[in-house]
Amino acid sequence: MLPNNSFLFFLIAAFVFTSCDPNRVFDDYQSVPNTWNKEHVISFKVNPVDSVKPLDLFVNIRNTNEYKFSNLFLIVEMINPNGKIQKDTLEYKMAEPSGKLLGTGYTDIKENKLWYKEGFVFNETGDYTINIQQAMRENGKVNGVKNLDGITDVGFRIENPTNIKP
């Protein structure tokens, strides 16, 4: 009976640690099948309930050792409920100069929490759409990387700033 009790303990502990995130407002991931094609846009729909409180926005990336670049270029587009579009081309550092991948994780999958917007206020009511697309290029080449290897999941996270209580 001891193995069942141990399993139950670990199951409860895992639930408690994953569900107790007081800063989280929205956190969702989408899997990337095999490679991330440059035409594949990953979309998230968000309908924030607070239109006055500043929030921090992040793009989350899970990658494996198959990721061969030291940086990551993304095009992130936010479409407001009124149709206004905010489009940003962003660059993130993904590896140290030695080639060691950045991010957290003890296995060959690393998770990177990348800043998108700090203190952002969703001042319109309704659905916001966030579109994320990879925009990688190899040095000296004009055309972008058609299929980006090593990215397993792309996520979008909204959280309360850590210096403000929810």
8: in domain: no
Instruction: For residues 166 and 156, give the distance between their C-alpha atoms in angstroms, rounded to a whole number.
Output: 19
- Residue 4's pLDDT band, with cuts at 50, 70 and 90, is low
37: in domain: yes
Domain of 56, in residue numbers: 23-159
The CATH number assigned to the domain holding 31 equals 2.60.120
- Tell me: the pLDDT tens digits for 38-83? 999 999 999 987 778 999 999 999 999 999 999 999 999 999 999 9
103: in domain: yes
Mean pLDDT of 109-134: 95
- Residue 163's pLDDT band, with cuts at 50, 70 and 90, is low
- Residue 93's pLDDT band, with cuts at 50, 70 and 90, is very high
What is the structure's pLDDT at 99? Answer: 84
In the chain, the number of structural domains is 1
What is the structure's pLDDT at 150? Answer: 95
Residue 162 has pLDDT above 50, yes or no: yes
Q: Which of 58, 32, 31, 45 is nearest to 119 (CA)?
A: 58
Residue 3 has pLDDT above 80, yes or no: no
Question: Which segment of 54-63, 84-93, 107-116 scores lowest on mean pLDDT?
Answer: 107-116
Instruction: For residues 65 and 53, give the distance between their C-alpha atoms in angstroms, rounded to a whole number.
Output: 38
Q: How far is CA 18 from CA 12, 56, 97, 109, 126, in A?
A: 10, 20, 33, 18, 28
30: in domain: yes
67: in domain: yes
45: in domain: yes
151: in domain: yes
Residue that wins the pLDDT comparison between 147 and 16? 147
What is the structure's pLDDT at 13? Answer: 47
Residue that wins the pLDDT comparison between 10 and 127? 127
12: in domain: no
